[in-house]
């Protein structure tokens, strides 16, 4: 179950965005499974990305292993 960040409750800035059908369906499934509003799921995903971005900025991005076949 997702943790609900109190900071994300009661959003007040309206914005229209477009989703791909795959992303929309995934967000809808998460929303139903977690019994959260679609908007709350989107906000939580954005918040999680912000946290990851800050973590990368503070520690540097994690290096991916090279795909060297030779």
SS3 49: helix
Residue 10: CA count within 13 A, CB half-sphere: 2
13 to each of 29, 34, 58, 60, how far by Cα in Å? Answer: 24, 24, 29, 32
Between helices 21-34 and 38-59, what is the axis angle to 10°? 100
Nearest to 7 by CA among 53, 52, 49, 40: 40
Which tens digit of pLDDT belongs to each residue from 24-39? 999 999 999 999 999 9
Which tens digit of pLDDT belongs to each residue from 5-14? 777 888 899 9
Examine the pLDDT at 57 and tell me if it is beyond 70. Answer: yes
Whole-model pTM: value is 0.68
């Amino acid at each position: 179950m997702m943790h609900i960040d109190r900071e994300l409750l009661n959003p007040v800035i309206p914005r229209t965005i477009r989703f791909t059908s795959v992303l929309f369906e995934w967000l809808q499934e998460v929303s139903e499974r977690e019994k959260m509003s679609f908007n709350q799921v989107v906000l939580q995903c954005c918040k999680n990305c912000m946290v990851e971005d800050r973590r990368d900025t503070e520690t540097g991005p994690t290096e991916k292993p090279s795909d060297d076949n030779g």
